[in-house]
DNA sequence: ATCACCTGTAAGCTGAGACTGACAGGTGGC
DNA sequence: GCCACCTGTCAGTCTCAGCTTACAGGTGAT
């Protein structure tokens, strides 16, 4: 994560959820002033990161609408946690046969 | 923040601090396998963000050494916090005279 | 004088990721 | 038929952070 637009998306989804609304892609794009393709890209990343979730539905008048919702998440960010994450990220070499790295 | 190298730097500084060592730039660069100029750039950003702090000192043999230390920090990262941050970031218009945006 | 250390910065290349425009396809209403 | 909505994806462009190379300057030891 870590891009301003990404944060704005999360913020908007959060606000709407507070008000009891769900938002579909086009509506969200309009509110944030983003193009749909761009928004799709960001939503994809957010979904991959597990921060949001989208589901395609049919509205009353038969139109396809993709609604996105925030998934609850919270993480404490401090030096210790970062050190652990980095250590965990560095070790994965379970079945590679002692071969050198990528270079 | 939010770049892998940045996290590695924080992690290494944290580890060293645990062992009671301080690191100077060149040493840190060697441990992480980064070029000094690159490390400088990252350290600059981390320092701007308030996560680390550097101080130039003279070693016993008169050589200049710049030591970097971690500053304690911790923040809880969740949707609410992001929404607040975005809202706070969006409002600053204290003395601009109702003029439009950047262009 | 030359080497092995160190700090610091500027110029330039490069590639990933942000962003746009255009497309294809579906619905309902006038 | 045409318009106003919607979803979804691709092929580009372009910006900028990341990264390298190269420089300038300082110390002490040989």
Q: Confirm whether A96 is domain-assigned.
A: no
Q: For B2, left (φ over 0), alpha (ψ -120 to 50), or beta?
A: left
Q: Is residue B37 part of a domain?
A: yes
B41 touches strand D (CB under 7 A): yes
Per-residue pLDDT tens over the stretch B4-44: 999 999 999 999 999 999 999 999 999 999 999 999 999 99
Q: With contacts defined as CB-CB under 8 Å, which chain A residues touch B77?
A: 73-77
Kind plus residue range of the DSSP H or E element containing A57: strand A52-58
Q: Has residue B98 been placed in a domain? A: no
Question: What does the pLDDT look like over A12-49, one tens digit per residue?
Answer: 999 999 999 999 999 999 999 999 999 999 999 999 99
Helices (H), B1-103: 4-18, 25-32, 36-48, 79-90
CATH number of residue A77's parent domain = 1.10.10.10
Q: What pLDDT, on the 0 to 100 scale, is given for residue B84?
A: 95
**Overall average pLDDT of the B68-74 stretch:** 96
Is B97 part of any domain?
no
pLDDT score for B95:
61
pLDDT at A60: 87
In a domain, A70, yes or no: yes
Sole residue written with tokens 């944290």: B14
Searching chain A, which residue's CA lies closest to the CA of residue B87?
A11
Q: Please tell me the predicted confidence (pLDDT) of residue A2.
A: 79
Distance CA B68, CA B55 (A): 7
Sign of the Cα pseudo-torsion (B27, B31, B37, B42, in order): negative
Query: Between B90 and B12, where is the model more confident?
Result: B12
Does B14 reside within a domain?
A: yes
> Residue B54's domain spans which residues?
4-90
Tell me the average pLDDT across A57-63. Answer: 90
For A69, the 3-state DSSP assignment is strand
What's residue A16's pLDDT?
97
Residue B10, domain member (yes or no): yes
Q: Considering only the beta carbons, identify the residue of A1, A76, A83 that sits closest to B11.
A: A83
The total number of structural domains that make up chain A = 1
ipTM: 0.84
Three-state SS for B90?
Answer: helix
What's the confidence (pLDDT) of residue B22? 95
């Amino acid at each position: 994560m870590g891009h301003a637009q990404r944060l704005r998306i999360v913020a908007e989804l959060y606000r709407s959820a507070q008000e009891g609304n769900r938002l579909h892609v086009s509506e969200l794009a309009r509110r944030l002033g983003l193009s749909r393709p761009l928004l799709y890209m960001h939503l994809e990343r957010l979904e991959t990161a597990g921060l949001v979730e989208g589901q395609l539905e049919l509205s009353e008048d038969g139109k396809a609408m993709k609604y996105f919702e925030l998934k609850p998440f919270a993480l404490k960010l401090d030096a210790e946690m970062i050190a652990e994450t980095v250590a965990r990220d560095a070790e994965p070499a379970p079945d590679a046969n002692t071969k050198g790295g990528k270079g």
